[in-house]
Amino acid sequence: MRLVRLQKLLAHAGVCSRREGENYIRQGIVRVNGEVVTTLGTKVDPGRDRITVAGKTVRIAQELIYIALNKPAGTITSCRQKNARIVLDLVEIPQRIYPVGRLDKDSTGLLLLTNDGSLHQRLAHPSFDHEKEYEVTVAHPLSDAALQQMEAGLPLDGTMTRPAKIKKLSAKRFRMVLMEGKKRQIRRMVEQVGNRVVRLKRLRVANVRLGKLAEGAWRHLTEKEKAGLLNERLRKKSLASHMESAMKND
């Protein structure tokens, strides 16, 4: 459930400023689902709750939102999880958004969030063929043979994983570019070659890079990034250039 402060929602909807919204709440002219609300800081769900000011319904135009978040370890990639910190707790905006794909609880790095259902479907569908780039640290040194095994593909869930691209950074660290997303795929592949992941960080999804975004921080995608995700022709061109440079040193 995505909750925002009532006065912030009123300001975003263009009803008033936040300070004026606080005054409206104190005056008792703001109702949520028919009930008068006079407590400042009350949180509401813009997608479910009906809000009125002096009897007039507050409406929020559907604005398409595209966000990049640097997910910290320990945060759950979910829209709802009882007694746990979820990624939506890190992004306080009035619109209802949801994560595109998943990063497991212990993993960090780039996570996209949006309210654009069509983009979510395209990115989640296997035919999209978008790249996801990770930096992986393992418990024990990995041999070149083990890296080559993972690069060529390993059996998971009854099928072979698709060929990946891997660049060795040190004895225990490498970068990996995948074009699929099986559950806990990298961790399970590393286990198959007799090792264990101790740190997993996503650096890129398609043409969107994590860059220097601080852990726990978020930003709106740039127009160029949105175009790369939304425009099929630009996407193919962008991914071709990223494929060429993905394994180069930063």
Give the residue numbers marked as catalytic. 104
For Cα atoms 164, 165, 166, give the angle at the middle one, nearest 5 degrees.
120
Give the Å distances, CA to CA, from 99 to 46, 102, 124, 147, 187: 17, 7, 11, 30, 21
Tokens of 93: 């905006």
Tokens of 9: 């929602």
C-beta separation of 209 from 202 below 8 A? no
Question: Residue 91 and residue 105: Cα distance in Å, rounded?
Answer: 17
